[in-house]
Structures are given as structure tokens and as C-alpha cells.
């Protein structure tokens, strides 16, 4: 079998395939990752057999020593045919002395449970298996899959018909993270022809002959019909994809340069952008939060950027919010702060805020007041304290009674123009009855006259100078 592979690449078509794949490796800088070891996705079809054959020959011709392993995923979709494919891959890898991983996944059940289409569920399951294997190996870093020029042309055409932008029209990228596609410039017909001439076996997926699926219809009906317009539609579509990828990469670089790692942007800055650049910036911001956008979402948000306060839901349990003209994306499932910190007499360090709270159970001396520039203070009395004092984050419905009135914390924060996303950063001083003091606001008095308040003592919050995670004092958020 090894001799057959060597002879395959001595053939004219085999040589062309080898040179094409080598040029992709060089042009896309695949070698550093490839040289760390590669896991080949092996279905048993012509494309994956060609890919495995190429990598074996490439390693031999270049005198390299990186490990090559393969993985076959049985999706349990095609019954006996799927079992045949698995047996073929085992036999092939045994002959080539290539380590093979085999995984069986009940994709039909998975698709039904997740509500996803069969093809999408299969792809996600397949790549999940690939990554799991990589994580368990310290000698393999790359995943090689056998997408070819024909696959790319189908993808480009499919995305165009869906109304995709430059990113969708870019087709299948030769490199995405640690996933490599060396055969992306090779036509399917050339792969089949070369393997047949060399006498190298492969299996055929009978479902590929049916035009019931959209991609199969494009492959079997639409692209052949396009030959009436141009003799090589796949080549032209791939060239178009390369041009779109170049444009897409440029706009992406412009978006990243605009953001410079920032996750919060003024709405005025976003409004000033060309719409195409805004869409890409929005996409980059969404990726920070593992969220997604659509053309409709981008259009809707762009139209309301003149407002200083709004929220808009994104794909993936996330929200684009604008508060006082500052825009950012947050996840809806972000955990809210949850802590209960009991204060003892003396210094109490609250590490999450990089701040100290002094609980001074005695008359406050002027020496303490000398630190006012880096602190806020509350004078309390045992007459209004019930049980122990502790700090916690704000809760829905919190109120505090002072100045003869009950104040809702939500209203206090709103009047002070503290954005909702920042309110959880404010530590609330409570006792067993409820809120005693909110830093920067009044102390609960429960209607106790001043002359009856004895045993004065103080809680002093000292603000650290080395953190951005400060709480609010007055109307200014300390940074």
C-alpha cells in the first residue's frame, strides 16, 4: 500500500495534487502546526484517502518525523454502509501502520434531542471528537480535513444564495485555528481520477448521489449547468472566494485596529463608522462574548445608535447594551456577584473589590478622618443595628430607610445615573433586618431620633489605588 501511495504521486495528476497541497501548506503557513503532529479526519471516501496518502508521502519526501494519526467517526446514519466504511478505515490504517481512533455517535438521536439538522449535528459531533482526541495527546496539535476545491465552490454558491456577505462568500478557509485543509485547491474530479489510475481503493457514500439535500443538488445539478457559461465554474467560484477572503481579512483587520481590545465603545464612535466596518466591529465585539449577530441584528442596532440607552438581544444568550452612551456586549448567563462578608472589629479586606473596610466600634477620632480622600464613611449606632453587620451585593427589591423616607436602591442608583451593569459592584452594608448603608448614600435611621442614638461607631471603606473594580462614591465611578 505504501508503494501504491508513492506511485500515485509519480503520476501526472498525482504530481499536480502533491504540488498544489504543498503550495497551500507554504502559502497558508501550515507547516509549524503540521510539524507538531496531525490527526486526519478519515471517512474512507476518496478525499480523505487522498489526504492521508498525501501526508504520508509529504512526510517521507521532506524527511520529517511528525506523527500522523487518523480518526473515523461512525455517525450511525447509513446502517450497513456505515459499518462498511468503518471496516475499510480500520483495514487501510492497519496496512499503512497509522494509528486509528474510531468513535460511534448516534447522530440521529443527537439531532432530535438538540433540534438541529442531521448534517449540522453530525459536523458538530465530528469536530468535538477531533478536539477530544487532540486534548488527550501531547504529540498532536493539528487536525487535517479533506475539503477540496469542489467543496469550496459548493459552499460559496450556497452562501451567496443565502445572501451572505464577504465572510460567507469567502468559502472554506484553508486554515481555521488548528484545522488544516491542504487539498482546498484540488478538484474532486482530479482526486477520483488519480486514485483510480493508481489502483487505490476508497468507499463511496451513496447519499451523495441523491439531489434531495441542498448541497448535493448544487453539486449534481447546478454546478454542471454552470459549465454552459464557463468551462470551469468551480475554479471561478474558488477564485471569487479568494478575492472575498482578501477583502474580508482587510475589513477584519480594520475592525480589530478600531477596537484595540476595547470591549466598551462610545455610541458616537460606532455611529461614525462606515456601515460595513460597523458590522465587522459588532461581530468582533460579539465574539468576545461568544455571541453571534445577523445582518438584521446589525441593521437594527445601527439604526438606534443615536440613543444613549437601549438593549438589543443577540444570538447566543447575549445582549448589546448602551448605557449613558457607552456600548458593550454582555452575556445573559453571566453570573451575578454572590457573597456574604461578615464584618469584624478592625480591618476587613474584601478582596473582590481590592478594598478594606474598617469597623471601628468606638468614637471616631480625627486620625481616621484624615484618610477621607481615599475613603467613605458611615457613622452608625447600636440603636439601629440588629445582629451582625455584613456586606453583600444589591438584591432586587432592596430598600433603605433614612431621612424619614423609604428609598428603593434601584431608584437611588437610577437618580445618581449609575448604569445597571455597574450596580452589582457596589457592596451593600446590611444587618439582620436588611440594608443599613449604601456607600455614597445615607445611613438607615429607622426613625430613631439623633439624641437617642448612642454607642457611635464607624464603618470606613478604604479604596485601593491598584484596581479598576471600584465601587461608586457620589456621582462618579472611581477608576
Would you say residue 290 lies in a domain?
Answer: yes
The model's confidence at residue 174, banded by pLDDT at 50, 70 and 90, is very high
Domain boundary among 205, 239, 273: 239
| 327 and 188 fall within a common domain | no
Would you say residue 249 lies in a domain?
Answer: no
Q: How much is the pLDDT for 454?
A: 59
Q: What is the pLDDT of residues 416-436, one digit of tens each?
A: 877 766 777 788 888 898 998
Q: How much is the pLDDT for 343?
A: 78
Would you say residue 106 lies in a domain?
Answer: yes
| 288 and 374 fall within a common domain | no
Structure-block grid coordinates of residue 71 = 480518526
pTM here is 0.70
Alpha carbon distance, N-terminus to C-terminus of the chain: 67
| 172 and 310 fall within a common domain | no
3-state secondary structure at position 39: strand
| 127 and 199 fall within a common domain | yes
| Residue 120 or 237, more confident | 237
| 13 and 91 fall within a common domain | yes
Q: How much is the pLDDT for 472?
A: 35
Partners of residue 346 on adjacent β-strands: 359
| 110 and 12 fall within a common domain | yes
Distance CA 199, CA 233 (A): 29
Residue 360, pLDDT above cutoff 70: no
Would you say residue 250 lies in a domain?
Answer: no
Structural domain for 441, as ranges: 341-477
Most confident range, picked from 98-107, 205-214, 458-467: 98-107
Would you say residue 116 lies in a domain?
Answer: yes
Answer left, alpha or beta for residue 332, where phi above 0 means left and psi between -120 and 50 means alpha. alpha
Would you say residue 251 lies in a domain?
Answer: no
Q: Are 315 and 287 in contact (CB under 8 A)?
A: no
Would you say residue 267 lies in a domain?
Answer: yes
Mean pLDDT over residues 105-131, rounded? Answer: 89
| 188 and 224 fall within a common domain | yes
CATH of the domain at 272: 3.30.465
| 466 and 447 fall within a common domain | yes
Contacts of 174 (CB under 8 A, 6+ apart): 24, 27, 28, 30, 180, 181, 182, 184
Residue 371, pLDDT above cutoff 50: no
Distance CA 50, CA 9 (A): 10
Q: How much is the pLDDT for 369?
A: 43
| 317 and 347 fall within a common domain | no
Residue 366, pLDDT above cutoff 70: no
Would you say residue 252 lies in a domain?
Answer: no
Q: Are 300 and 312 in contact (CB under 8 A)?
A: yes
| 447 and 315 fall within a common domain | no
Mean predicted lDDT score pLDDT of the chain = 86
| 291 and 358 fall within a common domain | no
- What is the number of structural domains in the chain? 3
Q: Are 315 and 298 in contact (CB under 8 A)?
A: no
Residue 86, pLDDT above cutoff 90: yes
Range scoring the smallest mean pLDDT among 125-134, 136-145, 327-336: 327-336
| 97 and 228 fall within a common domain | yes
Domain boundary among 312, 331, 350: 331
The model's confidence at residue 379, banded by pLDDT at 50, 70 and 90, is confident
Q: Are 69 and 96 in contact (CB under 8 A)?
A: no
Q: What is the pLDDT of residues 238-286, one digit of tens each?
A: 999 999 999 999 999 999 999 999 989 999 999 999 999 999 999 999 9
Amino acid at each position: 500500500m505504501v508503494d501504491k501511495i508513492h506511485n500515485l504521486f509519480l503520476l501526472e495528476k498525482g504530481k499536480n495534487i502533491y504540488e498544489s497541497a504543498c503550495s497551500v501548506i507554504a502559502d497558508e503557513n501550515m507547516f509549524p502546526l503540521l510539524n507538531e503532529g496531525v490527526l486526519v479526519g478519515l471517512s474512507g471516501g476518496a478525499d480523505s484517502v487522498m489526504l492521508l496518502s498525501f501526508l504520508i508521502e509529504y512526510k517521507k519526501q521532506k524527511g520529517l518525523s511528525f506523527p500522523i494519526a487518523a480518526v473515523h467517526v461512525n455517525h450511525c446514519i447509513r446502517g450497513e454502509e456505515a459499518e462498511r466504511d468503518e471496516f475499510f478505515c480500520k483495514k487501510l490504517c492497519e496496512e499503512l501502520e497509522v494509528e486509528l481512533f474510531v468513535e460511534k455517535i448516534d447522530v440521529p438521536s443527537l439531532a432530535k434531542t438538540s433540534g438541529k439538522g442531521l448534517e449540522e449535528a453530525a459536523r458538530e459531533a465530528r469536530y468535538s471528537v477531533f478536539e477530544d482526541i487532540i486534548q488527550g495527546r501531547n504529540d498532536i496539535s493539528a487536525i487535517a480535513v479533506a475539503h477540496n476545491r469542489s467543496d469550496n465552490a459548493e459552499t460559496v454558491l450556497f452562501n451567496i444564495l443565502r445572501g451572505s456577505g464577504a465572510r460567507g462568500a469567502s468559502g472554506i478557509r484553508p486554515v481555521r485555528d488548528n484545522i488544516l485543509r491542504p487539498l482546498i485547491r484540488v478538484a474532486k474530479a482530479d482526486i477520483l481520477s488519480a486514485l483510480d489510475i493508481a489502483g487505490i481503493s476508497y468507499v463511496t457514500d451513496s447519499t451523495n448521489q441523491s439531489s434531495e439535500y441542498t448541497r448535493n443538488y448544487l453539486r449534481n445539478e447546478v454546478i454542471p449547468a454552470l459549465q454552459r457559461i464557463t468551462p470551469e465554474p468551480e475554479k471561478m467560484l474558488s477564485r471569487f472566494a479568494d478575492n472575498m477572503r482578501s477583502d474580508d481579512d482587510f475589513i477584519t483587520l480594520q475592525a480589530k485596529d478600531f477596537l484595540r481590545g476595547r470591549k466598551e465603545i462610545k455610541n458616537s464612535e460606532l455611529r461614525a463608522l462606515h456601515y460595513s466596518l460597523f458590522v465587522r466591529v459588532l461581530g468582533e465585539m460579539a465574539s468576545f462574548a461568544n455571541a453571534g449577530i445577523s445582518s438584521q441584528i446589525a441593521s437594527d442596532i445601527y439604526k438606534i445608535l443615536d440613543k444613549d440607552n437601549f438593549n438589543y438581544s443577540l444570538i447566543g444568550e447575549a445582549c448589546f447594551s448602551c448605557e449613558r452612551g457607552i456600548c458593550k456586549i454582555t452575556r445573559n448567563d453571566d453570573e451575578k456577584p454572590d457573597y456574604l462578608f461578615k464584618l469584624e472589629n478592625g480591618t476587613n479586606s474584601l478582596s473582590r473589590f481590592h478594598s478594606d473596610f474598617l469597623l471601628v466600634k468606638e468614637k471616631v477620632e480625627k486620625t481616621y478622618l484624615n484618610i477621607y480622600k481615599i475613603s467613605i464613611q458611615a457613622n452608625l449606632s447600636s440603636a439601629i443595628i440588629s445582629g451582625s453587620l455584613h456586606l453583600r451585593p444589591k438584591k432586587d427589591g432592596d430598600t433603605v430607610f433614612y431621612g424619614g423616607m423609604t428609598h428603593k436602591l434601584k431608584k437611588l442608583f437610577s437618580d445618581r445615573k449609575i448604569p445597571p451593569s455597574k450596580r452589582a459592584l457596589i457592596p451593600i452594608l446590611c444587618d439582620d433586618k436588611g440594608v443599613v448603608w449604601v456607600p455614597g448614600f445615607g445611613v438607615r435611621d429607622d426613625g430613631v431620633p439623633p439624641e437617642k442614638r448612642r454607642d457611635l461607631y464607624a464603618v470606613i471603606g478604604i479604596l485601593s489605588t491598584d484596581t479598576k473594580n471600584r465601587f461608586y462614591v457620589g456621582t462618579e465611578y472611581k477608576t
